[in-house]
Amino acid sequence: MDYNRIAKEVIAAIGGNDNIENAAHCVTRLRLVLKDEKAYDKETLEGIEGAKGVFFNSGQLQIIFGPGTVEKVFAAFQEEAGIKEASLQDVKKAGTGKQNKMQQAFKIFSDIFVPIIPAFVGAAMILGLRSLLTIQFGFLGGSMAENWLWAQDLSRFFEVIATTFAYLPVLVMYSAVKRFGGNPVLGLVVGFVMVTPQLMDRTVYLTGNYQQLDMWHFFGFNIPQVAYQGGVFPAILTVWFLAKVEQFTKKKSPQTLSFILVPTITILLSAIALFLVFGPIGNAIGDDLGWVIDVLYNRAGVFGAFVFAALLQPLTVTGTQHAIQGIEAQLVATTGFNYIQPFWLLH
């Protein structure tokens, strides 16, 4: 395989050296940010020796060459184009800058939820195994957990270790704070504030199954002392604020006191903002979104599936379909049911 010839063909098919803004590679793909995104010839690129696929995603032209091959192609590409390698992060940043506001918003959701997908998958599989132990079997006269002690204990054990959804805001804040450029540890701290057992459980509060509701009295506001279990949108809004506060405090704090002032001020202001501003706003967003999805699923019939399919296509093309996972997580946490999953199956 002549890698220099391949590199020359790639350069010619993307509009020449002058059309290259940034270039890098990952394990399998050559990733390019082009000045003129319409100048590349997809059919020509797909016909180049070794190319296994070509697509445009997140502002990047991505050419799949596969592990091992892509490193050699990129080395020849650098030589022929006379460019220096940019970091993969630089290429992603440059590509994001070419997206519109809606694409950027969905990309943020995608960046937050993709890293924590394994936690959802693991917890869901464990809960699925637990359901096998608690489901009613006619030939047993009940569930396995009701008939055998080992099944009962295993069911309880599975319930304990599948804690992902109970601590959903913690996972979201940890991932989101890295996306927004903050300290992940501070994100964890405020995330645990959202689910602390010292506050009333949100399910108890929403069902009204309580005798007394304690309140905080801040700035003339009466704030219920209620946790935010399952609060995806409150977590994202709060952690965005947290990152901004941390960055601002770092710039303004004296260097000798920065170690003390930055985390203290960041945690304090973020917690106040959570209960005073972003918690209520995030809950309102989640409730309204849940209502819309409930209407599409329970009342709109087949039209709801058409709407979802119409929305999914542009999301998939732009590589931002993972943003829907944040909405799914919110639905599971608040309603116990994922209305979107059947739409995925239909699509």
Q: Is 15 a catalytic residue?
A: no
How many residues does the structure list for the chain? 347
Helix residue spans in the chain (DSSP H):
3-13, 42-46, 69-81, 88-96, 101-113, 117-134, 144-147, 149-161, 168-179, 184-195, 202-207, 232-252, 258-273, 279-298, 302-317, 324-335, 340-346
Contact assessment for residue 280 and residue 272, using Cβ atoms and an 8 Å cutoff: no
Query: Which residues, at least 6 apart from 115, have a Cβ–Cβ distance to it below 8 Å?
Result: 175
Contact assessment for residue 242 and residue 187, using Cβ atoms and an 8 Å cutoff: yes
Rg (CA), the chain: 25
114-120: long-range pairs with CB below 8 Å, 24+? 114/322, 114/325, 115/175, 116/171, 116/172, 116/174, 116/175, 117/322, 117/325, 119/164, 119/171, 120/164, 120/325, 120/329
- Active-site residue identified among 2, 26, 135, 268: 26
- Looking from the CA of 51 toward its CB, the CA atoms found within 13 Å total 22
SS3 of 12, please?
helix
Q: Tell the burial category of 345 from Cβ atoms under 10 Å away from its Cβ (0-12, 13-18, 19+).
A: exposed
Taking the CB of residue 192, how many other CB atoms lie within 10 A of it? 13
Residue numbers annotated as active site = 26
